[in-house]
Amino acid sequence: MIPPKTVRDILDAVRIEEVIEDYVALRKRGVNLIGLCPFHHEKTPSFNVNPTRNIFKCFGCGKGGDAVGFLMEHEGFTYPDALRWLAKKYNIEIQEIERTPEQLAEQQLADSLYIVNDFALQHFQAQLFDTDEGKSVALSYFKQRGLREETIRNFGLGYAPDQRDLLLQRAKASGHSLDLLQKVGLSSQDGSRDFFRGRVMFAIHNMSGKVAAFAGRTMSADKHIPKYINSPETEIYIKNKTLYGAFQAKKAIRQQDECILVEGYMDVISLYQAGIENVVASSGTSLTEGQLQLIKRNTSNLKILYDGDPAGIKAALRGLDLALEQDLNVKIVLLPPGEDPDSFVQQMGSEAFGEFITKEAKDFILFKTRLLVEETKGDPVKRAGLIKDILGSIALIPDPIKRGTYLRECAMLLEASEQVLHTETNKLITSALRKKADKEARQPGAASDAPTAAPRPDVPAKPDVPRERPLQQGDEFQERDIIRLLVQFGDRELPGENISVAEFILADIEESLSSFENPLYGQIAQQCHARLTGGEGLGPDYFVRHEQKEVRDLAVDILAESTRTVYSAGWEEKGFPLQNQLPPEVNFGADSRKALSIFKIKKLTKLLQQNKQRLKIASEQQDVENEIRFQKINIQIEKVRNKIAKENGIVVPPK
């Protein structure tokens, strides 16, 4: 483990431009550096690096973050690995924290389990290549399936003869602990027999290429014997975080920016041998979140090959909503009836196969929509359910632009109004966010640990409130402006006052903290408030390094927008400010005061509306006492609101 202080040292030493220049050619434009984005194909550069803020942002594909984020995205590093890489680049020594005895014991156990698995692999391979039975039963089987010896060795294929305890005996003779063999699932539960017998063997590697588990396919024609059996879950084998073939495919997936998913072990091996190397299998059941994250670390593009019947495909599609939440682009390829990837690639050859899956790939959501439209023809009730189902999927997509595109396409397929679909989808998103916020509110302190799978809220496209804008938008607009000021200028001193912008804003809206309309903004405001109360500062770094992805992304967006709107407009080159409008960098003091006023007026207006509602009910019920009370409150709120508005030259909406 890297001590927190070293983490800070590393992050403080990092110059983002120096890190990115290792991968992308950058040139100067204004205060920023620009280059061709390494995450999407482009001919004109939209990839911005901002050395002042130490962040990058691509205005083409939307990727953005700090140097650590860049390395995780580009190199597929884990967070600690990215830090280690940076430490090396900047010559910072990492004295890893001593592990606790429990952690040490855990690591030792894992190490010994890998050693036992490695012994078993060698045993299975020796049985395959060096024994008569192995050659005649298993090796001939693999060769018959078209595998070359090089492939067989590369994937760790082997053979377990049909003997009671051959592996156990050999392991014992070589000094291995039978207890460990049992722990790693190589012997039966009572430890008396080999677990895999009479089977061809497939090694299942972890991401660093160590053997984590095995699968065995029976060589018997007996229908009562399961065709495939797998090692049980162990300390080193967590099924829902493992993808078969991922270790071998990792590099190709990154290079081709696409992951192909198939069903079986032989499909993976066969395609790999044919030169289609970016291929993995989920080993049976539907994709889990852990497996999707594994893919997402290497690419955003997932192509799934199906060889099943329509019913099976429909069931499989249901599991794919998880992939949308991970912001993966999912495409579906249906193979011709009776073919699986293995048989199909052998029959067609790799080139034609590659062409086929490129040509036949269908977007998942549109595929699903077409499939269901076909099915619900002439049944309006079913049709309504179908629309709900599709919108449920679309609502999970975090990227608003992508969502918009899907809604347009689906509106056409469904012969429905795009506007209605939009409204319905937004309802689903809002209610999902509310649910998430409620859940977090019910578990205090757990907010930052919560998974970040829920969709990101829509953010208004333009960050700056034009000064004469009337007060018509929803509250979210003002809320975002408050957050923008906190992120951009939170730690600056408010001109003319002896306090920071963050202190100024948060002290004044303390009582509104729980009434934010947008849950994410509300959560950020509350966390900032807690930090200030705890005596901690609030610089842009706090947000960019925030442990919650939604917060990091929002901060990067805000910071990247801020330099873009000011400088790309040519403000700097022309040497004069935009009309009468000072850039946010100069004007943040006045901006803060104004944003705060607008925010408060919004909240007061809402309060006023609520109160009027109560007034109406009271007067309907001829409850004179309350009628008078609410009248008085009305006047009071209006007075305060109008005062703030007048002081700030803001137009209050008509009653």
Residues near Zn ion, by CB under 5 A: 37, 39-40, 58, 60-61
In whole angstroms, the minimum distance from the beta carbon of 47 to Zn ion comes to: 6
In whole angstroms, the minimum distance from the beta carbon of 213 to Zn ion comes to: 37
In whole angstroms, the minimum distance from the beta carbon of 59 to Zn ion comes to: 8
In whole angstroms, the minimum distance from the beta carbon of 325 to Zn ion comes to: 21
Number of neighbouring beta carbons within 10 Å of residue 132: 7
Cβ proximity to Zn ion: between 39 and 504 the closer is 39
Cβ proximity to Zn ion: between 59 and 79 the closer is 59
In whole angstroms, the minimum distance from the beta carbon of 60 to Zn ion comes to: 4
**533-560 burial, b for 16+ CB within 10 Å, e for fewer?**
eeeeebebbbbbbbebebbbbbbbbbbb
In whole angstroms, the minimum distance from the beta carbon of 251 to Zn ion comes to: 21
List own/partner pairs for 398-401 with CB under 8 A and 24 or more apart: 398/325, 398/327, 398/455, 398/456, 399/62, 399/327, 400/458, 400/459, 401/62
**How far is it, in rounded angstroms, from Cα 160 to Cα 171?**
14
Cβ proximity to Zn ion: between 346 and 405 the closer is 405
In whole angstroms, the minimum distance from the beta carbon of 498 to Zn ion comes to: 43
Cβ proximity to Zn ion: between 61 and 348 the closer is 61
Cβ proximity to Zn ion: between 60 and 146 the closer is 60
| Farthest-apart Cα atoms in the chain, separation | 101
What are the beta bridge partners of residue 200? 159, 217
CB 45 within 8 A of CB 36: yes
In whole angstroms, the minimum distance from the beta carbon of 238 to Zn ion comes to: 33
DSSP secondary structure code for residue 569 in this structure: T
In whole angstroms, the minimum distance from the beta carbon of 57 to Zn ion comes to: 9
Cβ proximity to Zn ion: between 44 and 144 the closer is 44
Cβ proximity to Zn ion: between 61 and 178 the closer is 61
What are the beta bridge partners of residue 172? none
Cβ proximity to Zn ion: between 59 and 129 the closer is 59
Name the 3-class secondary structure at 409: helix
**How far is it, in rounded angstroms, from Cα 40 to Cα 257?**
9
In whole angstroms, the minimum distance from the beta carbon of 29 to Zn ion comes to: 16
Name the residue among 596, 585, 604 with its Cα closest to residue 642.
604
Cβ proximity to Zn ion: between 61 and 219 the closer is 61
Query: How far is C-alpha 95 from the geometric centre of its chain's CA atoms?
Result: 31
What are the beta bridge partners of residue 34? 27, 48
Cβ proximity to Zn ion: between 64 and 519 the closer is 64
Q: Which two tokens stand for residue 333?
A: 């390829």
In whole angstroms, the minimum distance from the beta carbon of 37 to Zn ion comes to: 3
**How far is it, in rounded angstroms, from Cα 166 to Cα 193?**
8
CB 90 within 8 A of CB 581: no
CB 272 within 8 A of CB 280: no
In whole angstroms, the minimum distance from the beta carbon of 40 to Zn ion comes to: 4
What are the beta bridge partners of residue 50? 55
Q: For residue 94, report the phi and psi dihedrals to the nearest 5 degrees.
A: -105, 115
In whole angstroms, the minimum distance from the beta carbon of 179 to Zn ion comes to: 52
Cβ proximity to Zn ion: between 59 and 571 the closer is 59
For 500, 518, 559, 599, the CA distances from 486, given in Å and listed in that order, are 10, 16, 11, 14
DSSP secondary structure code for residue 134 in this structure: I
**How far is it, in rounded angstroms, from Cα 649 to Cα 10?**
47
Helical axes 549-567 vs 519-533, angle rounded to 10°:
90
CA 422, 423, 426, 428 torsion-angle sign: negative
Cβ proximity to Zn ion: between 58 and 87 the closer is 58
Cβ proximity to Zn ion: between 328 and 395 the closer is 328
Which DSSP string corresponds to 468-511? T--S-S-HHHHHHHHHHHHHHHTTSBPTTSSSBHHHHHHHHTGG
